[in-house]
Amino acid sequence: MAEEQSATSSDQEESNSKQRCCTRVFHWLMWISLVCYAMSRFVTCDVSTSLPEQIPFVFIDMRRSPYGLSRKWDLTDHEWKECRRFVLKAWPWLILHSVVARALGYVVPSFVPHYHVAYSLLFVSLKLGLQSAAIFVFEHTVFFALAWLRLPVLTYAVAFFMVSHFDLFGYDFFRIVLVRHGYNSYFVTVVAFYWTVLRCLSFCMDCNSHSEDEAVGNRRGRRHLLSYWKTLSYAIYLPPLYLGPLQNYEDFLSSEEQQKPALTLRELVACGTGLLRSAVHFLFMDLMCHYFYSSALNKAPHLVARLDLTSLVGHGLALNMLFFMKYRIQYGLSGSVAMIEGHRLPAPPKCVFRSYLCSHFWRYLDHGLHLWIKKYIYLPIVGTQRKAHRKLLAVAMAFTSVWVWHGMTTAVTFWASLSFLGIALEVLLAQARRLDCLKNFESKHMNPVRRRFIKAVLGSPHYLLTIFACMFYLADMTVTTMFFKRVILGFPLPLVPVLVALYFGAHASQDAMDFEASGATRETAPGRTLPVTKHSKVHPVEAL
């Protein structure tokens, strides 16, 4: 009898497992099919195919394809255009930098910070100009002096001024680079300058947090002499200098000072695979620019109004996809190059089509910036008690920093505000789930299947909010307002089909997170250990 019950239970578990597998396959197929359908409608619509002829004045940067394709090549996105130019001229320098640093790490490890400084300044001087090199050294000097003063409030104030000086006063300190070395050198210098502000603030705060525990006097002077080279090598470390991602100073030191792994065949294959992956992403981005004219179309809002509803949705999806690809190429390339040296940068972004929660989007699109905001803005405000009102205040301050960082324009204001709204809803819902009445309801009436269903139902409009918020940053106000009126206010069409599609996307996102969680569990199983860092804990904002 017991054997029969055991066999029945085993058969039932196997049947349930097959049913779950079929359901997940169905959700993934529906999500991928609907996304591909909407984006293909955008590519093949009359507005898109005839765009070069309809607005030739916009297509100054539309060039004939170097790949022999019949469609023209859209390079109207100046951010990608300048990034592409930088990558093509800098990649041999980046690889050589890491190869030599790896060799020095085995022979003379103490010389590596000095090498980083010398090589980075040489590259900047030759490729961007002596003025750019002087700007970065001056920037670091200012913050190094602030680290000596140990005045956190003044450090934050100086960082705010450096990031917002152009928006507040309209004075361009980098114009000399534009005049003498051209727009690409100017653009790269400006972006690298803003990245370096955040890196310098990081080493200021990290050095201050540990200075009280260390000896003073002569030992203190020697410590600062050494930290000057370490902080300067961190501030202008070449792979992420312009490309990103941002890395906190303590994490940089931890990665640099740990023993480099042996140069085995497996290590060489991993480095080569990373570079090859970046090259494939670069090629894929070029091919996408032959078909998805989203950037060019943003410059002609009157033509966006002529898109049918499905093509308009496809336009919004294409904008988010191209946005993700730019970051994936930049962070992926710098991470792969740094890996050659044995240095680990924050992980590159995860696909935006698998992040249905606003918190997941911000956590994984730019993981380095997320860790920076968490350490220097979020956690100091939240404190140890982690009350809901302090979490909301910390999230508000986090997106205020994002708002300042991205220019404080009207579009960025909407982007940051809606993103804050999305995460605030998650915080409030997580707080509500702690109430005894909801705990009792979940324990009595909710099983894993129902819980996933509720998450997908609630996550569908939340997903739409995240996509819509990003459009304020990726398109102008006119195009985004048009999307709001025609899609979000378009009940029942196209709003209901869009929410249904996002419902499948929310299921697919949960599957992806479950798969990653199971992979992490296998990695930490008995017999396998992982390094524990301060960032190993779960993000304070819990998911739905």
Q: Is 326 exposed, middle or buried (0-12, 13-18, 19+ CB in 10 A)?
A: middle
Whether 340 is covered by a domain: the verdict is yes
Alpha-carbon distance 500 to 492, whole Å? 12
Whether 516 is covered by a domain: the verdict is yes
C-alpha distances in Å from residue 194, one per residue of 158, 229, 366: 12, 20, 15
Instruction: Name the residue with higher pLDDT: 14 or 90.
Output: 90
Question: pLDDT by residue (tens digit) across 451-491?
Answer: 999 999 999 999 999 999 999 999 989 999 999 999 999 99
My answer on whether 48 and 160 are in the same domain is no
203-215 mean pLDDT: 72
Question: pLDDT by residue (tens digit) across 239-282?
Answer: 999 999 999 999 999 999 888 878 889 999 999 999 999 999 99
My answer on whether 167 and 46 are in the same domain is no
The yes-or-no verdict on residue 522 having pLDDT over 90 is no
Residue 540 is predicted with a pLDDT of 35
Whether 528 is covered by a domain: the verdict is no
The yes-or-no verdict on residue 31 having pLDDT over 90 is yes
Residue 135's closest CA among 149, 121, 147, 123?
121
| Angle, CA 533 vertex, CA 528 and CA 536 arms, to 5° | 80
CB 516 within 8 A of CB 523: no
DSSP-based three-state secondary structure for 385:
coil
My answer on whether 426 and 336 are in the same domain is yes
Please, which pLDDT band fits residue 62 given cuts at 50, 70 and 90?
low
Q: How many domains does the chain have?
A: 2
My answer on whether 244 and 383 are in the same domain is no
Q: Is 376 exposed, middle or buried (0-12, 13-18, 19+ CB in 10 A)?
A: buried
Alpha-carbon distance 331 to 277, whole Å? 12
Q: Which residues, 6+ apart, have CB-to-CB distance to 194 below 8 Å?
A: 162, 163, 405
Residue 85's closest CA among 75, 97, 74?
75
Please, which pLDDT band fits residue 14 given cuts at 50, 70 and 90?
low
My answer on whether 237 and 276 are in the same domain is no
Instruction: Name the residue with higher pLDDT: 213 or 66.
Output: 66
The yes-or-no verdict on residue 542 having pLDDT over 90 is no
**Average pLDDT score over the chain:** 89
Residue 55 is predicted with a pLDDT of 82
Sign of the Cα pseudo-torsion (186, 190, 195, 197, in order):
positive
CB 502 within 8 A of CB 464: yes
The yes-or-no verdict on residue 372 having pLDDT over 50 is yes
My answer on whether 276 and 239 are in the same domain is no
My answer on whether 301 and 158 are in the same domain is no
Q: Is 541 exposed, middle or buried (0-12, 13-18, 19+ CB in 10 A)?
A: buried
437-445 mean pLDDT: 88
Question: pLDDT by residue (tens digit) across 179-202?
Answer: 999 999 999 999 999 999 999 999
CB 336 within 8 A of CB 271: yes
My answer on whether 212 and 341 are in the same domain is no
Whether 81 is covered by a domain: the verdict is no
My answer on whether 234 and 383 are in the same domain is no
The yes-or-no verdict on residue 544 having pLDDT over 60 is no
Whether 434 is covered by a domain: the verdict is yes
Structural domain boundaries, residue 442: 27-74+266-521
Residue 119's closest CA among 138, 133, 139, 107?
133
My answer on whether 251 and 270 are in the same domain is no
Residue 9 is predicted with a pLDDT of 56
Residue 537 is predicted with a pLDDT of 34
My answer on whether 240 and 298 are in the same domain is no
